[in-house]
Amino acid sequence: MAFFPTNLDELKARNWDRADVILITGDAYIDHPSFGAALLARVLEKEGYKVGIIAQPDWKSDRDFLRLGTPRLFFGVTAGNMDSMVNHYTAQRRIRSDDAYTPGGKSGKRPDRAVMIYTNILRRLFKGTPVIIGGIEASLRRIAHYDFWQDKIRNSILADSKADLLIYGMAEKPLVELARRLVQGEDISEIKNIPSTMVYVKEADGIRLPDADKCSDKLTFHEMNRSFYQNYLSHELYQLNGGRMLKHNPPAESLSESEMDELYSLPFENAPHPSYKGQILPAWEQIRGSITSHRGCYGGCNFCAIAIHQGRKIQSRSEDGIIKEAQKMSGTITDLGGPSANMYQSRCKLGFPASCPRLSCIYPKICPNLEIDHDRQLRLLERLSALPKIKHVFIASGIRHDLALSEKRYISAIAQKYTGGRLKLAPEHSSDRVLRLIGKPSIKLFESFSKQYFDEVKKSGLKRQIIPYIIIGHPGTTMEDAMMLRDWLRDNRMQVEQVQEFTPTPMSISTAMYYTGMDFETGEAIHIPSPGEIRRQKELILPVAKYQQGSKKRNTRKNSK
Domain match, 230 and 92 both:
yes
User: What DSSP string describes 198-234?
Assistant: EEEESS--SEEPPPGGGTTSHHHHHHHHHHHHHHTTT
Assess whether 430 and 529 both reside in one domain. Answer: yes
Task: Give the pLDDT band (50/70/90) at residue 545.
Answer: low
Please indicate, yes or no, whether residues 358 and 306 belong to a single structural domain of this protein.
yes
CB 293 within 8 A of CB 322: yes
Whether residue 213 is found in the same domain as residue 67 = yes
Cα(127)–Cα(187) distance, integer angstroms:
15
| pLDDT above 70 (res 246) | yes
User: How far apart are the C-alpha atoms of 561 and 558, rounded to whole Å?
Assistant: 6
The pLDDT score that the predictor gives to residue 557 is 36
Is the residue at 414 inside a domain?
A: no
**Mean pLDDT, residues 117-128 taken together:** 97
Question: Per the domain annotation, does 504 fall within a domain?
Answer: yes
Share of the chain above pLDDT 90, in %: 88
Query: 52 with 146, same domain?
Result: yes
Whether 223 and 96 map to the same domain: the answer is: yes
- Claim to verify: residue 449 and residue 328 sit in the same structural domain: no
Average of pLDDT values for 313-334?
96
- Give the β-pairing of 197-201 and 165-167: antiparallel
Summarised one tens digit per residue, pLDDT across range 479-520 is: 999 999 999 999 988 878 778 999 999 999 999 999 999 999
What end-to-end distance do the CA atoms of the chain give, in Å?
Answer: 54
449 and 343 both lie in a single domain: no
Among residues 222, 248, 274, the one where a domain terminates is: 248
Which of these three, 193, 222, 248, is where a domain ends? Answer: 248
% of the chain exceeding 70 in pLDDT: 96
Tally of structural domains, the chain: 3
Q: What is the model's pTM?
A: 0.94
Report CA-CA distances (Å) from 338 to 172, 335, 382, 405.
18, 9, 18, 19
* Residue 262 maps to a domain: no
CATH number, domain containing residue 195? 3.40.50.2300
Q: What is the mean pLDDT of residues 412-439?
A: 93
Assess whether 95 and 146 both reside in one domain.
yes
pLDDT at 263 over 90: yes
Q: Which CATH number goes with the domain that contains 454? A: 3.30.750.200
Given this model, what pLDDT does residue 305 score?
86
What pLDDT band is residue 1 in, cutting at 50, 70 and 90? low
Where would I find the beta strands (DSSP E) of 329-488? 331-333, 335-337, 347-348, 370-371, 390-393, 422-428, 465-472
Residue 137 has pLDDT above 60, yes or no: yes
At 316, which helix (H) or strand (E)? strand 315-316
Q: Which of 368, 399, 430 is the last residue of a domain?
A: 399
Summarised one tens digit per residue, pLDDT across range 68-121 is: 999 999 999 999 999 999 999 999 999 999 999 999 999 999 999 999 999 999
pLDDT of residue 398: 86
Average pLDDT, rounded, for the chain = 93
Domain residues for the domain of 342 are 289-399
Strand partners, 348: 370
431 & 555 share domain = yes
Report, as an integer, the average pLDDT of 162-173.
97
pLDDT at 463: 86
Do 485 and 520 fall into the same domain?
yes
